[in-house]
Amino acid sequence: MFSTRTAMALPRQLSAGSRAAVLRSSKPSPARITSPLDRRRWIQTYGYTQAKALMYSKYGEPKDVLSLHTHSISAPHSTQVNLRLLAAPLNPADINQIQGVYPSKPPFTSILGTSTPSAVAGNEGAFEVLSAGSAVTSLQKGDWVIMKHTSMGTWRTHTQFDESQLLKINNADSSLTPLQVGTVSVNPVTAYRMIKDFCEWDWLRQGEEWLIQNGANSGVGRAAIQLAREWGIKTINVVRERDTEAETKALKDELHALGANVVLTETQLLDSRAFRDIVHDATRQGKEPIRLALNCVGGKSATALAKVLAHNSSLVTYGAMAKLPLTIPAGMLIFNNLAFRGFWVSRWSDKNPGLKLDTVQDVLRMTREGRFKDIPAHEVEWTWEKSGEALAEEVQGTLGGKRSGKGVFVYKGD
């Protein structure tokens, strides 16, 4: 085993990366305060710090394949930036990646020193800059950032990325919370781009055109309600019934408070006569067209949405919670000239990082102004002492039905 002194004396022809790898494997003794009351993350000699990452080396259920890996991070050089986690949500796409059923998959590598090639879970999150290399020009200690691309692995306490892989979030006035920044780049961006990019709205008719969506209680659905309200678009919103009538009413009231014009249940949607009457009354006997439908359910629910669209309108599918195919009657295509499109925010974000940042900044501007509200969140506190088993169980719990809100890891540590 190399000592730290021996590793530092390796021949100069070794690359910096090779010397760093030897340093990581040498595991130098940590300089640590011995007080039993001290629970701070400890720092190794020569600027190496300890980090933990929730990783998987094979596909499966989160509780079966996720484990917590401790590793070292070197001091940043050149354009490298060291980061500390603030908040990272537990999105359905993250779970699907772990299960191996999502179209995009992060590469399995041993770059963090795992015994078998592994990947860090998580795609979305907010981080704080701890330190930056000498060639970094756009970031400094204390700045907040999000990931420029997907599959970068956000479920970790600390990490190191190149400056070019990060997007800076303007939070100089400290008006934004880690939750707001950590959850902005998937659901709000999805809603924003679908409304903006898939319909040529007549902005001279603000308040006279409609959007209809299922899954209205989802993160995307709640964002769509608020963005449509800001842009003068009315919304018809479909939700699943809750266990009791009182709970269903409370949910409807909650969405109305966000700006929803009409909220109805799946049962009402699938009762063709009742649904037709609701739409007829809401749209002034059809004088106000429904121009766009947003579908995350599929099956009969999606078909019902399409039936009330005006000629030359679009239905955009971004999810398939019912796991049923979308059935399209030929008449919708032939006589109504409807367009059926799909939207995948991961691919869009990877292709449009600049536009992604513009979209994020616009949503956060509305957030600062009090015109865009947080999603309900179930915060999962991640401390340095928390076990990998406990974290994995929290991830698995997101599959267990209704919760108080979206699961979000919130790191409590240095």
Point out the residues that are catalytic: 102
> Dmax of the chain from CA atoms?
82
Tokens encoding 191: 């809603």
CA distance 290 to 283: 8
CA distance 239 to 401: 15
Local structure of residue 284 (DSSP, 8 states): T
Q: Which residues is 324 bridged to in the sheet?
A: 298
Sheet holding 119-120, edge to edge: 67-73, 49-56, 119-120
Residue 281 has φ and ψ, to the nearest 5°, of: -70, -40
The count of C-alpha atoms lying within 13 angstroms of the C-alpha of 241, restricted to the half-sphere facing its C-beta, is 8
Tokens encoding 51: 């980090």
Tokens encoding 348: 């869009």
Sheet holding 210-213, edge to edge: 262-265, 234-239, 210-213, 290-295, 314-317, 339-342
The total number of residues written for the chain in this structure: 414
What ranges make up the beta strands (E) of 281-405? Answer: 290-295, 314-317, 339-342, 377-383
Amino acid at 323: K
- Residue recorded with tokens 């795992």: 114
CA distance 86 to 397: 21
Nearest residue to 237 via CA among 215, 268, 257: 215
Nearest residue to 259 via CA among 405, 183, 371: 371
CA distance 224 to 233: 10
- Please answer whether residues 310 and 335 qualify as being in contact, where contact means their C-beta atoms are separated by less than 8 angstroms: no
CB-based burial, 192-203: b 16+ in 10 Å, e otherwise: bbbbeebbebee
